[in-house]
């Protein structure tokens, strides 16, 4: 009789423990879970200068992922032609037509923990100048796996 009571108490303890674990370990949708990833530039890694104006790629309001030195050499023109370490990096490079002057470009790359998608946000900081520009943007990102893709989001701020 006493052993039956102990078994019932043990089962009740197990059930309560499972309920507590279920609620304690559930994901909280209110907390952000994006992971910031480190990105580099041709300026910081290879000493290139003024790349938004001095390097060029034959694109119009789009981007390309360059994964090898031979692709870089054949697609990108300009005075800066570094030997990029494509075992460590892939190069995202694109063009954006703007309707005013550009002060700076900011980059932010995140991996969404739910979807596992990579997202590179490129923010063009604009000024009042009435010069229409066609800007080259780029980011050296950690080497993508073969099946990985990346979303590039372009934003304009004044």
User: Sheet holding 102-111: strands in order across?
Assistant: 35-37, 102-111, 118-126, 150-157
| pLDDT tens for each residue of 68-123 | 999 999 999 999 999 999 999 999 999 999 999 999 999 999 998 888 899 999 99
| Pair type for strands 102-111 and 89-98 | unpaired
Mean pLDDT of the chain: 88
Partners of residue 104 on adjacent β-strands: 125
The pLDDT, as a whole number, for residue 18 is 58
The pLDDT, as a whole number, for residue 33 is 79
Q: Name the least confident of 26-30, 88-92, 115-119, 134-138.
A: 26-30
Helix (H) or strand (E) holding 35: strand 35-37
pLDDT above 50: residue 56: yes
Helix (H) or strand (E) holding 138: strand 133-142
């Amino acid at each position: 009789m006493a052993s039956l009571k102990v078994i019932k108490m043990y089962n009740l303890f197990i059930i309560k423990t499972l309920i507590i674990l279920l609620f304690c370990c559930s994901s909280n949708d209110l907390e952000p879970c994006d992971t910031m990833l480190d990105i580099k530039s041709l300026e910081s890694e290879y000493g290139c200068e003024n790349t938004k104006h001095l390097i060029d790629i034959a694109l119009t309001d789009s981007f390309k992922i360059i994964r090898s030195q031979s692709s870089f050499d054949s697609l990108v023109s300009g005075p800066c032609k570094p030997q990029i370490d494509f075992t460590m990096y892939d190069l995202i490079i694109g063009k954006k037509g703007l309707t005013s002057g550009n002060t700076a470009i900011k980059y932010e790359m995140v991996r969404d923990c739910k979807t596992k998608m990579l997202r590179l946000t490129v923010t063009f900081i604009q000024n009042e100048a009435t010069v229409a520009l066609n800007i080259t943007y780029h980011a050296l990102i950690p080497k993508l796996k073969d099946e990985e893709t990346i979303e590039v989001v372009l934003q304009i701020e004044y």
